[in-house]
Every structure is written in structure tokens, then in C-alpha cells.
Amino acid sequence: MASLDKMTSVEDFKKVAKRRIPRMFYQYVDSGSWTQSTYRRNHDDFGSILFRQKVLVDMDNRSLATKMVGQDVKMPIAVAPTGFTGMVHANGEMLAAKACENFGIPYTLSTMSICSIEDVRSATSAPFWFQLYVMRDREFIENLIHRAKEAHCGALVLTADLQIVGQRHCDVKNGLSAPPKPTLANILNLMTKPSWCLGMAKTKRRSFGNIIGHARGVDNMDDFFGWTKAQFDPTLSWKDVEWIKNLWGGKLIIKGVLDPEDAYQAYEHGADAVIVSNHGGRQLDDTASTIEMLPSILERVGGKLEVFLDGGVYSGQSALKAYALGANGVFIGRPHLWGLGAYGQEGVEKVLSILYDEMDRSMAFCGKTNILDVDKEILLPGTYPVPKW
């Protein structure tokens, strides 16, 4: 198995993570819904966009530093909220948040995390962000937002595209649960993951820390599964955004926007930013990639709010392409999970370092030394998407 200093790409971490993470959690990360066409399209569409190489320009004193919703960042990349992170590696959310603090970018904690808001706050002094799923139990949501405020989270990320759950075939076939149920298939698979098992034996964090013991009537995993099936709120609509914004009182980001009119609605309802996202290809299949829709959304909102992007960003080159097309930054989910599953906190930090280096070098080869000066000029005309309407 390659040592950490020999890892040179996100793909290297993916290969190691596949060997170290139990099958159900690896496939939870590395899969989409239905035929997975959207999942593949997110990544593949970046490959069609080409850079314009420039030579004999001064490449010294480069900087990727910028801001994301007012927060200083070392590079325009944040870690996206991902459920089950603490099942990819013991205490995973705490380790990933600390890695982000050390590197100087935002970490976003999921409502469906294994480690709780309070756990993550104990692990980092940085103003991590919190992602909110809206449940039918509005009292629980109010308490959850209050806990995020008490933890001094820097922004609230409202996920808008999971009122119902997409058909995720791998999760259904694997019987996804946290921790894994003691079936014969799971036991045989876990026997091949000794380091993962040892880590889980040493931690008390093996269930959904933001929910169990906090939601009414949810005291254990049996309670949790029944509660979750009944609680995702299909009635969530734009009228709820103002209520959430007022309750939160801070920066509000709406995640899951794939339509220009929805992006404008987000602006009209008080959002500070949107994330162009199709949930990593895990919700609606056979829809557009996020990079395909980015120009149309940017044109519609006209700079009235910040626009970020996630989905398929597995390299610094892809992050740079999205930024060049006008995104204020990108969110990464799977790359940090592969780093975490492979090598823990050090793996996340190494993944971030690789993305930074790829973004920095590519920017220099395109004749720019400051990310604030990067625009479509670094891309080859005719190879990148343009507004559709």
C-alpha cells in the first residue's frame, strides 16, 4: 500500500479508501441514483473544458486566497456536507473539520453526521458551517439551528433537493445503516477491514449524534430509522426559507439549485449564496451536470448573491475551471471522504494540498498569478458551456 507521501492525486486516495472502508460505506460515497448517469456526467463534463496555455509571463508570488460568504479562505474550495462521514473513519467529522481548520478552508457539517455539532466544536476553533435538512418536527429544527448558533457556526447551508430521497440502488442492496447490521455478509466484509474496526472499537461515536437524544422519542438506532422515514418534509417550500433565515440570523446558503429561476428565487427570499448542485448525482438522474448549468444560473442572478458549485470536482483543474466560469468557489465531497477513509485527518489534509497545488500550477500555466484575476480568458473558447436561456 502506497505511503502518504507517494499519493499524487485524488484517484490514489480513492483506491486506498476502497480497500480500507467497509463496502456499504464505500459504495454510499462512490455511487449515484438509478443508472448513475448524472453522477458520471458531473465529472465527465469538466473534461470537455480546455485551458489556454500562456508562456513567458511572470509566475512568481501566486495566491489562491479569496473569500466565501465573507470568510477568508486559502483557496476557493470548501468541504461539502456529507452524511455518514463518521462511518468512513472513526470520529470522521471531527478529523475532517480539524484538517480544514489547519488548511484554512471551511468545513460543512451534515445534519446526518455521526459526530454531533458539539463534538465538532470541541475538535476545532474554526467557524465551521452547518448543513440543515428540514424535518416535519419544526421544534427539533428550531433546536438544531439554536445548537448551530451556540457552536458559532459561520454559515447555515439549507439543502433544498432532498424533500424525498432518490432511488440509490447500492444503498438499498447493501442495507445501509450506522453502524452496520451484524449480517453474515457484513461480518465477512468487516473481517477484511481491521483498521476500520479497531478505530470504531475505540470511539463512542457510532450513530447520528445530531439526532439521537435530541429529537423527541429518538433514543436509539431503532427509534432513529422509524423517525427518519417519517420526518423528511416533502412540504418544504420557498415560504419556509424566510422563517429559517430569521431564525438563523446569519449567512444563509441554499444547496441543491440546478435551475436559473430557482437561483433567483433564492436571492428574492434572502439567501446570501446558492450552491449549484444535483446532490452529487444522488437524487434526480438523467439531469444536467452542475458545470453545464453554472453559466445560466450566473447570468440569471447577475451577481446579486454568491454562486458556488459542487459535483464532479475531483481535481484542482476542475475547481479552477468552475471559478473561471464565474463560480465564487466549489465544494468537494467525495475527495475528502476518500482521503479520510484512506489515511484519516492526514489524508484529508493531503487531498486539500493536492487540490491546492493542481489549482495553483494550472492557474500559473494559464498566465495568472492571483485567483481574483481569473476569468473565462484562461479557457479555450468553444469548449466551455454558455448560458442556455
Nearest to 10 by CA among 314, 312, 310: 314
The reply to whether 82 sits in an annotated binding site is: yes
The reply to whether 169 sits in an annotated binding site is: no
Q: Give me the half-sphere count of Cα atoms (radius 13 Å) on the Cβ side of residue 104.
A: 11
The reply to whether 36 sits in an annotated binding site is: no
The reply to whether 43 sits in an annotated binding site is: no
Tell me if residue 75 falls in helix, strand or coil. Answer: coil
* Residue found by looking up cell 465544494 in the block: 331
The reply to whether 302 sits in an annotated binding site is: no
The reply to whether 303 sits in an annotated binding site is: no
β-strand 66-68 against 252-257: which pairing, if any?
A: unpaired
DSSP 42: H
The reply to whether 83 sits in an annotated binding site is: yes
Tell me the Cα Rg of the chain. 20
The reply to whether 283 sits in an annotated binding site is: no
The reply to whether 106 sits in an annotated binding site is: no
Catalytic residue selected from 43, 152, 214, 279: 279
Q: How far apart are CA 263 and CA 255, in angstroms?
A: 10
The DSSP code sequence of 290-348 is HHHHHHHHHHHHTTSSEEEEESS--SHHHHHHHHHTT-SEEEESHHHHHHHHHHHHHHH
Spatial CB neighbours of 70, under 8 Å, sequence gap ≥ 6: 251
Is 279 designated active site? yes
The reply to whether 323 sits in an annotated binding site is: no
Nearest to 23 by CA among 171, 225, 204: 171
The reply to whether 168 sits in an annotated binding site is: yes
Tell me if residue 272 falls in helix, strand or coil. Answer: coil
The reply to whether 28 sits in an annotated binding site is: yes
Q: Which residues are annotated as a binding site?
A: 28, 81-83, 110, 131, 133, 159, 168, 255, 277, 279, 282, 333-334
Indicate the annotated binding residues for glyoxylate. 28, 133, 168, 279, 282
Q: Which residues are catalytic?
A: 279
Binding site for FMN, residues? 81-83, 110, 131, 159, 255, 277, 333-334
